A and B are shown apart, each in its own frame.
Chain A
Amino acid sequence: MKRICLPVCLLLFLLTGCAGDAIADRLYTQAIGLSGKDTLQFTIQGFEEEDARTVYADGIADALRQEEAEAGGRIFLGHTELLCLDGSRTSDTVRMLLFEQGLSPGCKVLYASPGELLRRDSTEYVHALRMAEKNGLLPATELSTVLGEWLGAWETALLPAQDRKLVLLHRDGTCVYLSEEAAAGMCWLRPGTGSFSMTTGAGDAEIRSLELTKTMQDGQGQYHIRLVTQDADDALRRTLKDRVQAECEAAVREMRDAGADVIGLQTLMEAAGMQSGGTLPEVAVTVTVT
């Protein structure tokens, strides 16, 4: 019996795959960058690395092979926190990275030149993006959301750029920067989580919660934002309401001018049985502050 057990146990151990792989043999990427129209420029940065490596390749598989040869280990993209794009590579490459190479679906996407941005440790960018989302300074954007928007009828995604600007990036690489007011409006129309404070003309307002309801009525998108504030008087509530209303209207206007849908209009249209694509429907925004 013992004679049989020993080889069986050995065989089972060998089949686990644990014997052939060690953590030190792997490079866990923190940030990756995609650029280059004809030749792919693939930049990667590992955790706690100050600099990044860039390789030039025909495709993702080729780039990863080259990167692994340079890094001296297997590359694991599953914990990547930041994806940096300059618009020359969009949905097709990103989709391949997500579904074929196991890129983390929750990683933040930033519109910037990877070659410049990833010369420094990307940890601070990642933390800054997360904090800006939490404090209501940037709308929620992550890889799966961005890719979903590129696959939509209007093929345009909302991405944060450097200096807290927002950009509407079409999958063909063309982009439109949003004004400061419209960018602030996007934060109301695509809210993240958490409470935050903000300063208005009538004083500081503490936003306890933000509720967004979206419907499609008579071919028009109806967006209702309900803000719950703490200890705000009537004047402060009125000022806040006017400001949010103006910001949201600016966001909708600039988004429609760019021919983009980044506030979930297509989903509402499909639910209402409307044909998506073509001209964007009108959008009415109402705000209630309590």
Chain B
Amino acid sequence: MNKISNLQLFSILLLPGAWSILCIPALYGGGQLLGAAAGCGIQLLLCVPVFALARHGRETDFLRQKWLCCLYALFFILWGARSLTLMHTAAPRQLLTSPGHVTAAVLLLLTCLYTSTAGLKATARCAVLMLGVLGVTLVLLVVGAWRRVELSALSVRGGFSQGMLTYLALGGELPAAWVLLQHAGTGGCRAVGAYLLAKLGLCLLVLFLCITAGGRLTSEAAYPLFTLTVLSQPFAGQRADAVYLLAFVMLCVMQMTLLTGVTAHLLERTGIRHTAPLSLLLMLLLAWLLPEQGVATLTAALIPILAGGVPLVILMMQGIKRSVRA
């Protein structure tokens, strides 16, 4: 795989993260904003060993260990299965619940298959363009929702712990950041840090709008952001549903492409061929066979282990080896 620029690394991590934020399952209260900020702080701490490995240029070591490659690939397959299930349950009504939804789902999967076979470099290039689409969508969302904002609805009571745990469970891109950092130039760590902060900013914006502009309609809804998009119509003569739908589909494709691409990249190290379609097929199978809640819990538990635990162990082992040699 060729090198990817820092902006590409930032985009390729932020877009799947933004998709997870779109699919925030519920609102728990104003304290959720503080919880998300705390969750971001923990994620930054989890990234410290990865940053240390990247700084010393030893991060490639872990890819030589086939079992580690398989472990990370398995996580990405599980995360992909979780994302596919989420796509099915959280999709706006126009996409997968209306007549013709089977066609939409099949087309979406075919698109994911096509983009994943193009490789991570091509995906990274597209990600920068998609960042613009995400920006325009957010501007429309804010413009449409702003006049509904009622600041008195915002209180810091309740929702801190749920907000923190939800935010941590949405960090499936963190293990991918480690894999991608190997292909980034100098300053890759800064791009990962910027991604973490931008994702937090996006999460805070979404939560703020859902709580203050959506009122009771969003607080009682599953996937509150999709309820907010129904309410946030910035133009009098034109509905904005199609833009929100486009953003949802593009971010979803980017999420699946990143996961399939990274899984394929890791499985190639073990000598397996046709890894991209195989990864997508495995994700589909697991999404169909495994219980939704079980996969969500398992992946949420694996994120801190793979994002922070494993790199920390490698860092410590390398430190011990160095001291023994000395």
Residues of A at the B interface (CB closer than 8 Å) are 15, 78-79, 98-100, 102, 104-106, 144, 147-148, 151-152, 214, 264, 267-268, 270-273
B231:A270 contact, CB within 8 angstroms: no
Cα A273 to Cα B155 in complex, Å, equals: 9
Q: Which residues of A contact B237 (CB under 8 A)?
A: 79
- The reply to whether B217 and A271 contact each other, CB–CB distance below 8 Å, is no
Shortest B209–chain A CB gap in Å is 14
Tell me the minimal C-beta distance from B158 to chain A in angstroms: 9
Residues of B within 8 A of A (CB): 30, 93, 107, 148, 150, 152-155, 157, 215-217, 220, 227, 230-231, 233, 237, 239, 241
13 inter-chain pairs at a CB distance below 8 angstroms, sorted by A residue, are A79-B239, A98-B230, A99-B230, A100-B93, A104-B239, A105-B230, A105-B233, A144-B217, A151-B216, A264-B150, A267-B215, A271-B154, A271-B155
- Roughly how many angstroms separate A99 CA and B217 CA in the complex, as a whole number? 10
| A144: B residues at CB distance < 8 A | 148, 215, 217, 231
Verify B220–A271 contact, CB threshold 8 A: no
Residue of B152, B155, B227 with most partner-chain A CB within 10 A: B152
Complex CA distance for A105 and B152, rounded to whole angstroms: 21
Q: Which of A102, A147, A271 contacts B241 (CB 8 A)?
A: A102
Identify the closest chain B residue to A152 (Cβ): B216
Could you say which residues of chain B place their CB within 8 Å of the CB of A148?
215-217
Q: A98-B230, A104-B239, A271-B152 are known; give 6 further A-B pairs, CB within 8 A.
A: A78-B239, A99-B227, A144-B231, A151-B216, A151-B220, A214-B152
Rounded to whole angstroms, the CA-CA distance of A104 and B240 in the bound complex is: 11
Contacts known (A151-B216, A151-B220); A267 close to B150, Cβ less than 8 A: yes
A23 CB, min distance to chain B CBs, angstroms = 13
Residues of A within 8 A of B93 (CB): 99-100
Would A105 and B216 count as touching, CB distance under 8 A?
no
Which residues of A have CB within 8 Å of B216? 148, 151-152
B227's nearest neighbour on chain A, judged by CB, is: A99
Closest 10 CB pairs of A and B: A271-B155, A151-B216, A148-B216, A148-B215, A105-B231, A78-B239, A267-B153, A144-B231, A267-B152, A273-B157
Q: Which of A98, A144, A152 has the most CB of B within 10 A?
A: A144
Closest B-chain residue to A264, C-beta based? B152
- Given contacts A78-B239, A267-B152, is CB(A104)–CB(B233) below 8 Å? yes
